[in-house]
Structure formats: structure tokens, C-alpha cells
Structure 1
Amino acid sequence: MTGACFILLSSQALAQSETAKTEFSNNYEAMGFPIAGQGAVPIGPLVPSLYGNPHLFGDWGGAQSWLKDRGIFLNIALNEEYMGNITGGRTRDNVLAGQVAAELDVDWQKLANVPGLWTHLLVINGHGRSFSHTLGDSVSNPEQIYGARGNVVAHLVAMYLDKSFLHDRIILSLGAIPTGTFFNFDALACSFMNVSVCGNFAPGKYTPGGRDWPSANIGAVLRVRPTERTYIMGGIFAVSPHAYNGGISGWALAQDGLGKLSSQVELGWTPAFGKDKLLGHYKIGMWYDNSRYPNLYEDRNGQSFLLSGLPQRKQSGTWSAWFMFNQMLMRNGDGIANGLIAIGGVGYAQGNVVAMRDHEWIGLLESGTPWNRPLDQIGVMFQNMNMSRSVRLQQESSLALGTPFLSNQWGDVYGVQKWERVYEAFYSVHLARATALQFDFQYLQHPGATTTFEDAAVIGGQFTTNF
């Protein structure tokens, strides 16, 4: 049994070579779920952890084995990203950003003979600057690793406990939890550098009720597995009205204004098809936040608040819904990510208070086994993002008045926002144990979802390792 603990995974450097094969296999075995090639396939929700994963420096001179024997799993990971645009965008620039993350998982059954209890802590330290800002595109976010963590030594990402019941068929999690680590989460999506689908999707993760890594909401998640291949998850989280959950450091958990709640639910199915046990993950869900949010366009009379000068109409509650999947199409090894995998989904949000209405994506991933590089990985992805009618009407009002465009959940706005499309291809090279170097290319149509800047061609790469 495990919760959603992650360093390489949800520190936006997921599924790089060994992370996609060895680590996923280890995660499921640690959860008590046998892997494909051993007579069965993983079951239950895809909620990964790093414990049991390989380390660049091996056993740390015996220290790792000593800790694991006592139920203590310590991981330290590094992710460095470089990205630049060779054409298009707001400016021509290249940017380096990165982070160091530390994760501590404790199995209290081993440590203190408390059955079915785990605790998890994840903190990060980041550096660099935003490539999205210099490119003029905060809608698709071509980079993974920058943002939302504050200029602090150790930003709190997650701090919670798991308690399992009935042989892990029921798991209760309590604490400071990034909601998207449990809900609308696809670990394989973080193989791609564009963060709009890593590891959960926009628009949901850019709203207060659904914020994800590196921002946590105080709350609880209940996971139930009624059958071996199905699961149901429900969660309730306190919604912060502030720009940062827990303040700029993440540690100020007792913020004021936490009176509203976000309720989330997800249903999942994990089939395995044919004699090769072609594993799939299918999930559908939604969340509802009962906070009041300003309408992006209307005043209290239903007209443009910018033109009338009246206050924005307040909407009672907002929602987001999703369908997501990944499905192995062809197996070329025993690992659960060792083959050709299709990945995709669609997400919606309430467009009169959220600037992005819908988001669709489809892609393919393949391990390097067919060309004798089993720990390499290659992938292609297409994304389409449509902004909401309400935000477009707001921006047309700004244009008519000659006033600056208002920022929204996606940051600065440089024109009337309609849609954006992203084409991405990458190749990840296995360098050493738990270490990978990825090369990435992205082509962005309508950067920032506007026609203000020319289409952008972006090249980049990232280096990841788990010490």
C-alpha cells in the first residue's frame, strides 16, 4: 500500500527511462500488486511512490538497506531543465531552471509495529526563472519545473498519512495533499516536458479547488477497491483563497479564509487485455468547489463589468470534469511500461469563472527495447486547448476600451485568447542507474492562445537523477 509520494514522479520529471520501467514495477510490487509477466497485472489506482526505486549511488554504503529494514525510505532527486525558442514567441530567449527534492516515507508497521500506517513528507528547493514568461505563453507551459514554490530553502509539497484497511482494499489519507496527485493523475504524462498534462491536466489544476504539485490542500482522500480491477476515490479539501496554499513557503497551513471545500470523486478501471496482459488505466471524475468566484465577463446585470464599471457577478461554486486513459497497445518486455502505450484524455472546467474551457490530448510512448535500449523512451503528443467564451468577451471589452488585458489563472494575457495547440516529441536517454537525459522539441500554435506572437518552435532538455 502506498500514498502519492513522489520526487522524480510528480516533481515533473516522471517516467524518465528507469522511472518508467523499474520504478513503476517496484511501486506496484510494494503495493502488493504483482506485475505483468509474473502471472498478473497491477490493480487499484495509479498512485506512485519512489520507495524501492534505484539510486545513482546505489545502497549509500549500506545506509539505504539499514533504513529500509526499519521502514524508512529516503530519496533525494535532482532535475535540471534547459529550454529556448528558436523562432516565434514574445522574445527569443533560453532559460535554465531546476530543483532538488527530498522525500521521506515511513512504514510504521516495520518501524513501530503499527499495521497499515504510512507517513509521507516531500519538500523541494528550486532555482531559475520562467521560460513561459519570456515566451509569452503561460497557457501550455512548455517547461515543467519552474513555478509556484516560492523563494525558500524547503518548500512543502506534501505531508500526510495513509491508513489501510481490509488488506489495502480501503485506504484513508489525511493531511496536506496535492489534490492532483490522487485525482485526474496520469504518471506517464510526465514523460513529456510540457506541463499541461503532467501529471494531471489543465484547466483543473490551475484553480483553487484543484491545485496540484507543488501546492497542497488540507484534506482527506478515501480509496476503495471493490474489485481487483476497479477503484473509487473520494476526497474533501479545504480551499485557500490565497495565491499560494500554505503561503509562499507551503508551511503556513493554518491560513485564514479556509471555510470553503472542494469535493472530488473518481472512478477507475484497470483492464489487462490478451495473453500479453496489455495493461490499461481508464478514469472518469469531477470535482466541485463551493466557493464563490467572480464571473470573468458579467456584472450583476449580465453585461460587461469592464464597460459598465459595476462589480463582477459572483458565481456560487465551480466545477471541473475529466476522462483520462493510457493503454498498452503492444508489449515488448515484462515491465508495465515496457511497450507501445497510447495516452490521452479530455478535461473541462466551468468557463464563466475559469479562463480555459476544455483541453484534449493524445500521444504515444515507446520504450527502447525494440532497438536494444530498454531503458530509453520516445514519445509524441498533441494537445488542443480552448479558452472560454467568457474570458474572450472580457478581453474584447478591454480591446474596445483600450485598457490592458486582465491576467487570469494562466498568468499574463497578451491578446484576445481563443485556442492553442501543441505538438511535442522527445527522446530520453538512459545514462546511468536512475539517471536520464531527455531531448525535447515542441511546436506551439498561437502561443498564449492568441495571435499576438508568431508560432513558436521550442527546443529543450532535462537531466534527472535519483541519488
Structure 2
Amino acid sequence: MALWSGAYTHAGYAAPVSLEKSVAPVTDSIVSPASKARPNPTAAIRPLNTGQLDAGSLGPDPSAIKRPSNTPIPPSGVPILPSPGYATMSVPSYAPAGEEQGAAHTLELDALTNWEGPSGLLPPRLDALRRMDMNDPYYVPTAGTGHLVPFLNKPRAWMHDRGFTFSFTYKGEAMGVATGGLKKGVSYVHELTLQGIFDLERMARLKGWSVHALVMERAGKALQSGRLGENYIAMQEVYSLSGNVAAHLVDLYAEKRTLHNKLDVIFGRMSLTHVFATSPLLCSFMVTCSAPVALKQNPGFSVYPKATWGARVRLRPTRDTALQVGAYSVSALTDNPSGWSWGAENTTGLSLPVEFTWQPFLTRNRLPGHYVIGYAHDTTRYADKVASSLPAKVAATIPGRRSAPSDMFWLEADQMVYRLGGRNMMAGGYLMAGYVHVTPRVVNLSDQAYGGFSFVGLIPGRLTDRFGALYSWYHVSRRRRESQLIAQDAGLPLGAGVHGVQDNSHVIESYYAIDAAPGLLIQPSFQYMIHPGETHHIKDAAIIGLKLIANL
């Protein structure tokens, strides 16, 4: 059987020497979900010595890997990055690996060992990693395929060959409260994002080195506080932390690929949620981009687009696992709204995250899954939330009140359940779920749970459109609630913007993302919030909106 260590092997679990090669024809024709195409009868079938067929020996169903005609993704499923068609937070590492370093992967790291991890415990017919590694990467198409200005493609290619790639994207969100909340009305926000990557291996022959930079402009007025009475959960992705800033510096960090493409190190100015506790699928929803809300409230979890000094090391112990650890400086979420102040005078502590991912590929269609467990410790000592609603004299009389550091724990899981439209990791439909817990003593929201789906190809002939729905539950920390109960019993106000003793709230979000034209995505959205403000004093709210993303 396949083990976590290299102490024992089995002939049926032969280690791969390269990535999977195509075993079925790939065409550019559009295939309807109702297609009756059958698996390629000529695909090689290599039985294991157990007498069972393994999923990796069977070629994918041809109807599942045929690509739409407008896709920019090559038949291999490995795109050229960066591209504005991917969520900003999920753009993978770009430091050149390729043939110069003898690497198997173009974008992903190679594994430290040739072993399988937990996937080796799966039945052979379910495990597609039994004999070979899979292609990368993991991303979500959050924008229309292609570019609005196609005549720039040649200059882009010229710059790419010389070591520089860039993307420029507009994202606008208009959301309106249709029923419930505090008052009806519409809110508009937008962002302009310029991202560039400098390949120092091509520019200066610095092997494995690259530099990443990202600057954005955000403007508008947020919906949630004024129209919903909600202070913890942002209903729009764009307007958070850096609203109304002409040029907010998000990223400026260096990356080094080393150990023959087996170790990746990044350091500099960056957001922690570029790589920890984030999911490209989550970021297709407004409320949960770029990480679950219960994590985004923590100063120790520097959330996109807030940048801080930090470093992260990532590796793949086995072909189906990944491990990353990091260290990031901590300051208040409202500190340095422009991103250009690099001093450490406002630093309050250090955030130390660690995250482990199991990534199986299931069945003959190589259905990827991502099962993540993470933990972070923030050394900053935060005030006890039991005093948050009380005057200082009253708070001083509460027994057991003390400051404390913050500990964050998260579970995130997604699994593709069908493949349609190509070999890449987002050509198919996913189920997803997760849970977050944070030290109740020091935060407003201590728990969050969510579950949902993200499907493609629901309308025949529209393989690049995506329909998603997500339910999230949020729970106010017991220390925050205790503070409000004490204030209420004493006849004291609960604080600005608080409409009653808080307990929990629920948000349901759905969208249909339309790949309308090259470089243009139109995404109608619907949200329903139960218990806005985490109280029963505000009517449940229905919110209707539209997101538009355009790529230069």
C-alpha cells in the first residue's frame, strides 16, 4: 500500500516519473452536457497486480474533456499566467520551473517524494494518482475569457518572452436592498487592478527568481452598514479595508523556486490570504472573497488587499499533499490604508499560520478535490470582548477579564463531482463546505460554517458560464454577547450601530456568471440575509445586484 513515508512500496503503486500524458483526443468543439459520447475504447488499460483497474490507467471520458471554442486554456489544462481571467488572490507562483530546472510541472511544485499520501488508501478504481502525477493548476475563472483589446496580444507575447507579464482589470459591483434591512437603495463600488510579474531568470539569469507587484484603486460606498445595519459582514467584495484610495499597494514581494522545483519561498509585502485559508471557489462569491468572514475580521489575518511584511514557505511532501508555513507582522486592520507605509512602528505582534492540504484526483475523469486544515496563532494580546460594550468603570468590575492572543482554526473542502469542458481544474462542477473557529475572547464573530456548490455547463452550449450558491452561518462570540447582556441589564447603550443583543446571522448568496464576450464577464447576483446585524430587530433582507469584470 502507499504510505506517508518511503519505508515500503508495492509494484502496483509505482511512482511516476512525469505528469500524466493525454490518452484521449482533445478537440475545440463545444459539447452539450447531454452528450452521449462514450469513453475512448482504444485507451490503454493497465491492470494492477491486484486484478483491479486503477482510475489513472483509464483515459478520461472524451465528452468531459472537449473544450469550448473560446477557451484560452491549452489542451493540457495549464494556462499561461498571469491572466486577468483568474481570481487575483489565486494566481499561482510564476517563478520559472519548466525544462531548465528539469521540473515536471509548469506552475505547481514537484513533490519531495514519489509517494502518495492519503490517496493511497482509496480503492484503485477511485484513485487517479495511483501511477502518475496530475497537471496543475487550481484557479477559478472570475472574468470573461480573453481580452477586450486583442491587438495587444502580440505586445503581450513580446513582453512575456522577455520576462514581463501583466494584467489590467476593472471590477464593478452594484447592489441594492430590495426588501427588509434598514432602508432600500443601491450601492456602487469598483476597483481597478494592475498586476505585473517580473521573471528575473529571463531578465537577469537569476535562476528561479521572480518579483510580483499589484496596485489597485477602489472607490464607492459600502452597502451593509447604512442599509442593512450590518457591521461584521461585507456584502460586497470590492469595498473593504481600502475604499476610496487612488493607488493602494497590495503586493511587492519576491519569489524563489529552489531544490529543483520542490520548494517555494516568497517574502516581502503581501496579504496573508493570498495563500492561506483562501479558495478560488470561495472568491467567486462576494461575501467570502478572499477568505471566510470569521477570519477576515482578525488583524492577525492580513486580508486582501491589506498588505504586511511576511514570508511563506511551501512544499509538497507527497504527490497528493501540500504543506505551507508562514510568518507575518500584525497591525490593526485599519492601519496603513494606502499600503505605502512600510514602517514597523504600529506592529503589535506576529501571525504564525500553518496549513496542510490533501488534493486527491478521483475516477477516470481526474476529479480534483482540496481538503484543507489550517491553524494560525497571533501573538498580539487583544482586549477581552466582554468589555467592548461597557464603560471603563463598569468593565473594570467584571471578574475574569483579561487580554489574550488569538488562535484561528479552519477547515475548508471542495470536490469536483463532474468534469465538463476540458482538463483544467475548473472545468467541472464542485461541492464545497467549511468551518472556522476563532478565540471567542478576542473577536466579534467566533464561528462560521458554510456549504454550497459551483457548477458549469447547466445551459447546453454555455460551458464557460458558472452558477454558484453558498449558505453561510455566523455566530457572535460569547464574550461579545455577554458584554451586551450586561449593558442591557444595566440600562446602558449597546454601542453605535448595534440594534440589539447579538447572536447569529445567515447569508445565502447565488450568482450566474455569464462569459458574455472576450474579456467581459457579467454576473447577476442575489443575496438573502437572515437576522441582519445579528439581531432579530431588523427585517431579513433581499439584495439584488450585478457584478461586471472587464479585462484589457
TM-score by length of 1: 0.86
Distance in 1, matches of 2:368 and 2:150, equals 30
Q: Deviations over 1:358-413 (max 9, x none)?
A: 10011111112651101111011111111111111111223233433246xxxx43
Q: How does 1:10-409 map to 2 (within 5 A)?
A: 10=87, 30-31=106-107, 41-42=134-135, 54-60=146-152, 62-134=154-226, 135-193=228-286, 195=287, 197-240=288-331, 242-245=332-335, 247-258=336-347, 260-297=349-386, 308-310=394-396, 313-334=401-422, 335-368=424-457, 371-406=460-495
Partner of 1:18: none
CA contact (8 A) 1:43 1:229 kept: no
**Shift of residue 199, structure 1, vs aligned partner:** 2.5
**Shift of residue 125, structure 1, vs aligned partner:** 0.5
Distance in 2, matches of 1:446 and 1:337, equals 34
CA contact (8 A) 1:77 1:101 kept: yes
**Shift of residue 56, structure 1, vs aligned partner:** 2.3
Distance in 1, matches of 2:141 and 2:316, equals 19
CA contact (8 A) 1:392 1:418 kept: yes
**Shift of residue 9, structure 1, vs aligned partner:** 4.9
**Shift of residue 93, structure 1, vs aligned partner:** 1.3
* More off after superposition, 311-320 vs 267-276: 311-320
SS class of match (1:208): coil
CA contact (8 A) 1:188 1:199 kept: no
- Greater Rg, structure 1 or structure 2? 2
Q: RMSD of the alignment, in Å?
A: 3.0
- Residues 311 and 168 (structure 1), Cα distance of their counterparts in 2 relative to 1, 3 Å cut: farther
Q: Deviations over 1:249-299 (max 9, x none)?
A: 111011413252110000011100110101001110110011111001159
Q: Deviations over 1:143-199 (max 9, x none)?
A: 111121143320011111110112321111101110011110101112122x2x223
**Shift of residue 224, structure 1, vs aligned partner:** 1.3
CA contact (8 A) 2:217 2:247 kept: yes
Distance in 1, matches of 2:241 and 2:264, equals 29
Distance in 2, matches of 1:385 and 1:309, equals 26
CA contact (8 A) 1:10 1:181 kept: no
**Shift of residue 70, structure 1, vs aligned partner:** 0.9
**Shift of residue 5, structure 1, vs aligned partner:** 7.8
* More off after superposition, 412-421 vs 68-77: 412-421
**Residues 1:457 and 2:550 are matched in the alignment:** no
Partner of 1:22: none
Amino acid at match of 2:334: Y
Distance in 1, matches of 2:209 and 2:200, equals 5
Distance in 2, matches of 1:153 and 1:304, equals 37
Identical pairs, percent: 28
* More off after superposition, 375-384 vs 254-263: 254-263
* More off after superposition, 305-314 vs 424-433: 305-314
**Shift of residue 61, structure 1, vs aligned partner:** 5.7
SS class of match (1:62): helix
SS class of match (2:160): helix
Distance in 1, matches of 2:205 and 2:458, equals 42
Distance in 1, matches of 2:261 and 2:391, equals 52
Task: Show structure 1 runs of 5+ residues with no match.
Answer: 16-27
**Residues 1:416 and 2:501 are matched in the alignment:** yes
Amino acid at match of 1:295: D
Match of 1:443 among 510, 525, 528: 528
Distance in 2, matches of 1:447 and 1:328, equals 32
**Shift of residue 62, structure 1, vs aligned partner:** 2.2
Amino acid at match of 1:185: T
Amino acid at match of 1:223: R
Amino acid at match of 2:196: L
* More off after superposition, 361-370 vs 109-118: 361-370
**Shift of residue 206, structure 1, vs aligned partner:** 1.4
SS class of match (2:385): strand
Distance in 2, matches of 1:54 and 1:192, equals 21
- Residues 177 and 293 (structure 1), Cα distance of their counterparts in 2 relative to 1, 3 Å cut: same
CA contact (8 A) 1:8 1:77 kept: no
CA contact (8 A) 2:330 2:348 kept: yes
Q: Deviations over 1:311-368 (max 9, x none)?
A: 8844231110001011001112323212221011101100111111110011111112
**Shift of residue 213, structure 1, vs aligned partner:** 0.6
- Residues 61 and 124 (structure 1), Cα distance of their counterparts in 2 relative to 1, 3 Å cut: same
SS class of match (2:482): helix
Amino acid at match of 1:310: A
Amino acid at match of 2:365: D
SS class of match (1:257): coil
Distance in 1, matches of 2:505 and 2:519, equals 35
Partner of 2:70: none
Partner of 2:114: none
SS class of match (2:539): coil
SS class of match (2:341): coil
